[in-house]
Structure 1
Amino acid sequence: MAFQHGVTGRENPTSVIAASTSEMVAVYVGTAPINMTKERKVNDPVLCYSYSEAVEAMGYLKDFENYTLCEAIDAHFSKFGSAPIVLINVLDPETHKAETAEAETITKENGKFTIKKTGVIPETVTIEGQTNLNFQFDDDGYLVIIGTIPGETVSVTYSFLKPSMVTAEDIVGGIDTNTGDEKGLECIENIFPKYRVIPNLVLAPKFSTDSTVAAVLETKASKINGHFQGFAICDIDTKTTRKYADVPGIKENNNLNSTYLSAFWPMVALGTLKYHMSTQIACIIQALAAENDGVPFKSPSNKSLKADSAVLADGTPVLLGVNKANYLNSNGIGTALNFIGGWKSWGNYASCFPAVTDPKDAFIASRLMFNFLNNTLVTTFWQKVDEPTNKVLINTIVDSCNIWLNGLTNQGQILGGRVEFREEDNPTTSLVAGKISIRVFYTPPLPAQQIEFLKEIDVKYFDTLFQ
């Protein structure tokens, strides 16, 4: 030790570390009208905390059938006020496009020339005899030609987005063999490295009715970056499945059976806008977590939807009584119910129910809580990886976890929890390989989905007649 003369001091690391919890993040993979944007984001995750951010990055039209990410933008920011979301657009203006077969004649209206078609790609517009054109989009998504152009008509040609060309294969994505870049759902792996947020909820409205997309959603959600756990929310197609009694069979045929996946039917509508239930359920889950410091211990069932009807894809109304809604629930399918208190979400189970009844896996709320537990432990104790395996390390982890779990218990967010470092869980063969195992006992509250009142006559009350 170097010679010291005087008073010195040293610092030791704190023996207890704070839990590193994160906010609930919903991730959407789909299509957006990016012809309206300056930067064309294709297969590039974009984190958005506000409506303006989302619109600037993706564009916006009230055409949720063709532009599914607009449904997410509207639901999260305009209807529920829940954020953040990550948007991954797969619609590529280089490939998912078409061109005018012949020149189109545009007539001047109110002193302007407007191409009355959505999806027009501005840089592809050509006008006979005109150069250096400027453009802007109006509220309907139509392209307005800016500048002085003589005459009352012009002849134009252009290319336009064709979202109908986007397939389930584009949503599933993969790795580009030429560039090595991720595409579609594979882009989920880039979210945490890029933004340091965990993709807790994974969705692909409209496209998740495809069994292949639903399967990949579940696979991606169950293990993210090799360490995190998420939850996929999908829909059962209302174009082909029009009767509630047929829904369980479709669920089974599509192999929707996982603790990391929930399935919903039908759609819901608010005015003229139709929403996939998956989108609104994600909003509810996110809002409930935000109300409770990021802890998702409350079930999304029996919570208010932003809807005034339940519908099929073509707008046909669907009205389910409690008995019919419960039939869907008993088959692990969530739905919408208008019974007491307006339109509510209805259903507590993940899609693995009724084949799996373990409460850890069967309930959406418990699955979200076990995901929350796993992800918090990963982010909190990653800093301790490769530290010396000694009493200081073990005590730090055990004490920190127990203090955190006690806090969750006191808040009513779990019924109880504790952490133990057991000799039987840590044989010498594991310790010499640099592996330690810490057991966590953890009980989140389960939803009280059945409340029963037992009613009977107490004959003693006849005595009041003589008092």
Structure 2
Amino acid sequence: MAGIKYGAYGELRESVVEEITQAETAAVYIGTAPVNLVRGWTDAAAVNSPVNVKSMADAYGKVGYSDNWNAFTLCEPLNVHFGQTGKNIGPIYLINVLNPAKHKKEQATTKSVIFVDGKAEFVSETIVLDTLAIEGKKENVDYTLDYSFSRHAVLLTSVGSTPIDGTVEVTFDEVDPAKVTAEDIIGDETDKGVYTGAACIKLVFPKFAVVPSMIAAPGWSDQPEVHKALLQYSYQINGHWYAMLYPDIPLTAATIQEAIKWKTDNHYDSEYEKPYWPQVKDSYGKIYHLSTLAVAEQMRVDQSHDGVPAETNGNKEINAVAQYFGENSLNQGFDQEKANTLTESGVSTAIPWGGRWVLWGDHTGAYVEDKQIDARGIFDVNIRMLMFLLNNFQQRWAPKIDVNMDRAMKDTIINVEQERLDAYAASGYLLGSPQIVFLAAENSTAQLMNGQFVYTAQVTPTPPMKGLTCGVAYTSAGFDAYFK
């Protein structure tokens, strides 16, 4: 009988890297994933629903993985967050819009495979595993079906009383990622409670009880209509939460000046976002969107401050060896001096600096040098710290809604919040003496009669050290040493 072993055997299995730093910052990515490689994907809520992914091994069973990041855009963040030993960080929340029942080739595929010693395999990343069939054979009776993510191969093993041998024909459906459109990414929310695309950001908190604080859609956010929708979804999610958007400027902008103009013309200029340009390449030739690297690095920086977004991801090292402007681009790259032209216009980037490659830029998309804007929109740490304080206040006091608001409760809120603000100031996250107050001018009798209570906090987030200058002057006084 095929499949029966006699003796002692050993098998090399898929590598599993589990050195994952558990972050408190919740990052949400929207795009396409090879859920067609996941058995039972229809039961796993893997399409148009947020999925919590904690490691690469976790991803294999929930959304799949492929090295074809152009087709399966969510695999890039999986690689960045969980594919680099020693730098892995998660969890992350993925919203996949690729539907194997919808985005597939019109005709089923037929393929000849050869069974040798009861086993056969063939390479495919587009196969819908659940649809594979062998005529006259039944899965788990005549054969078993598995998938190797390291070899990108479908694995067939004969297990029946009559071994499968030689050439057989298999049929299966294949997904077609090219059929996914910007409309699929943007998505919608219906009156019947059906969510699709980026609208599924609203499901993250109800489903996982975590507040989305960063949003990205590498491979899609460089489309203005997608960007506009993502920006709208990032503001007051579920009527409460604030998140920072990390979009990319497309490589159709081939130069620094073109990137700045494109950013302005297409309104990537909100204080709630941090746009990036161009892309980067690593030593293996893999190409990364800077938005993905930026989100991962920001999560690591936040976690170094116990989850408080008190420091920018600017000047943080990334896995890169060159800037990337497109396959046929003549642009050979730029240094820090020219990169500062980008940052002065609210575009962050990546540069070689001090023998390493780093993210470069600490401004929001609203910033343009010499342009008057609200001070909170100057630096990413400013707006993210304010978002953090608002999100945390709401989370902390939501369980107290509908309790009696007597004088003691009013004072308790002030005391608890002031203590937290003082702790953030002591840690260097806020400057000066932050304060929270309950003012009569903001709480009229009519408001109080209707159960509406307003507190006001005044805080100064600690700014980054954007520039550091030391003046050196020549002096002749040193010659006195000859005579001492």
Give your verdict on TM over 0.5: yes
1:141 equivalent to 2:155? Answer no
**1:308 CA drift (Å):** 2.1
**1:365 CA drift (Å):** 1.2
* Selected match of 1:121 from 101, 123, 128: 128
**371-380 or 114-123, larger mean C-alpha shift:** 114-123
Give the aligned partner of residue 6 of structure 2: none
* Corresponding letter in the other structure for 1:379: Q
Secondary structure at 2:246 match in 1: strand
Give the aligned partner of residue 17 of structure 1: none
2:254/2:325 contact within 8 Å kept: yes
Matches within 5 A, 1:336-347: 336-347=350-361
* Selected match of 1:438 from 455, 464, 484: 455
* Selected match of 1:51 from 19, 40, 56: 56
Give the aligned partner of residue 187 of structure 2: 173
Deviation track 1:5-39 (CA, whole Å, cap 9, x = no partner) reads xxxxxxxxxxxxxxxxx920101111111122124
Give the aligned partner of residue 178 of structure 2: 164
* Selected match of 1:226 from 227, 239, 247: 239
Aligned-pair identity (%)? 29
1:387/1:393 contact within 8 Å kept: no
Is the alpha carbon distance of 1:464 and 1:69 closer, same or farther for their aligned partners in structure 2, counting shifts above 3 Å? Answer: same
**228-237 or 423-432, larger mean C-alpha shift:** 423-432
Give the aligned partner of residue 348 of structure 2: 334
Give the aligned partner of residue 8 of structure 2: none
**1:100 CA drift (Å):** 4.6
* Selected match of 2:75 from 70, 76, 95: 70
* Selected match of 2:91 from 84, 100, 118: 84
Is the alpha carbon distance of 1:69 and 1:109 closer, same or farther for their aligned partners in structure 2, counting shifts above 3 Å? Answer: farther
Deviation track 1:105-134 (CA, whole Å, cap 9, x = no partner) reads 345578743333221112323444544453
* Structure 1 alignment gaps of length 5 or more: 1-21
Is the alpha carbon distance of 1:364 and 1:456 closer, same or farther for their aligned partners in structure 2, counting shifts above 3 Å? Answer: same
**30-39 or 366-375, larger mean C-alpha shift:** 30-39
* Corresponding letter in the other structure for 2:258: D
1:61/1:140 contact within 8 Å kept: no
Deviation track 1:339-393 (CA, whole Å, cap 9, x = no partner) reads 2141000011111111553331121111111111111111112233233333212
2:270/2:366 contact within 8 Å kept: yes
* Selected match of 2:421 from 405, 414, 424: 405
Is the alpha carbon distance of 1:214 and 1:433 closer, same or farther for their aligned partners in structure 2, counting shifts above 3 Å? Answer: same
1:43/1:187 contact within 8 Å kept: yes
1:31 equivalent to 2:39? Answer no
Give the aligned partner of residue 209 of structure 1: 222
Secondary structure at 2:323 match in 1: strand
* Structure 2 alignment gaps of length 5 or more: 1-22
1:196 equivalent to 2:209? Answer yes
Secondary structure at 2:125 match in 1: coil
Give the TM-score of the pair, scaled to structure 1: 0.89
1:300/1:365 contact within 8 Å kept: no
* Corresponding letter in the other structure for 1:362: I
C-alpha distance in structure 2 between counterparts of 1:460 and 1:102, whole Å: 86
2:117/2:165 contact within 8 Å kept: no
C-alpha distance in structure 1 between counterparts of 2:332 and 2:216, whole Å: 23
1:267/1:274 contact within 8 Å kept: yes
C-alpha distance in structure 2 between counterparts of 1:241 and 1:457, whole Å: 45
C-alpha distance in structure 1 between counterparts of 2:337 and 2:373, whole Å: 21
1:268 equivalent to 2:284? Answer no
**1:53 CA drift (Å):** 1.7
Is the alpha carbon distance of 1:341 and 1:400 closer, same or farther for their aligned partners in structure 2, counting shifts above 3 Å? Answer: farther
**1:461 CA drift (Å):** 4.4
